[in-house]
Structure 1
Amino acid sequence: MLSRTAAAGSFFATIKRELLDTSSWPSRAAAHAAIFDFVEGWYHLHRLHSSLGYRSPAE
């Protein structure tokens, strides 16, 4: 089981690798909107959850 610190680090590493390192943002507001869309539109729906038998909520 991951500690809260490790889980947070993994989450932020995923956002950095999957979103922030792939584009440049014209403003802080644009980056904020992209992060929100990433978390709500992909991360919550597709990441694997141990409580679901390592399946995604979309499955």
Structure 2
Amino acid sequence: MAWLNGREVTISMSRRGNCWDNACAESFFALLKKEWTKPLGTIERSDMGDEVRYYIDEFYPKMRRHMTLGGLTPSAYAANS
């Protein structure tokens, strides 16, 4: 904790054992693995890095539709808000 405080790092978790702290991140990474990386199978590390970057920068925000956003992509939803 002192190491973080000494570097002015703000801890984002609310309290020990609060399972909701990481719900959004856990959901995103579960989708990344299930939808994108698992179907790729075994590929080179550099290729996997390229695939993950594409998913994060292009596919997820610009092409993946979300029912909680009314069937819009995150980019389209943000543009309409």
Compute the TM-score of the two structures, normalised by the length of structure 2: 0.54
Larger CA Rg, structure 1 vs 2:
2
CA RMSD of superposed structures (Å): 2.3
After TM superposition, give the deviation of residue 42 of structure 1 in Å. 1.1
Indicate which of 21, 27, 31 corresponds to 2:48: 31
Structure 2: gaps of 5 or more residues: 1-19
- Post-superposition Cα deviations, 1:11-51, rounded to whole Å, max 9, x if no partner, equal 0000000111101243211100001111122101134386x
After TM superposition, give the deviation of residue 4 of structure 1 in Å. 4.4
Between the aligned residues of both structures, percent identity stands at 22
Indicate which of 5, 18, 27 corresponds to 2:35: 18
Larger helix fraction of residues = 1
Structure 1: gaps of 5 or more residues: none
Size of the alignment, in residue pairs? Answer: 54
**1:4–1:44: structure 2 CA closer, same or farther, 3 Å change rule?**
farther
34-43 vs 23-32, greater mean Cα deviation: 23-32
**1:24–1:39: structure 2 CA closer, same or farther, 3 Å change rule?**
same
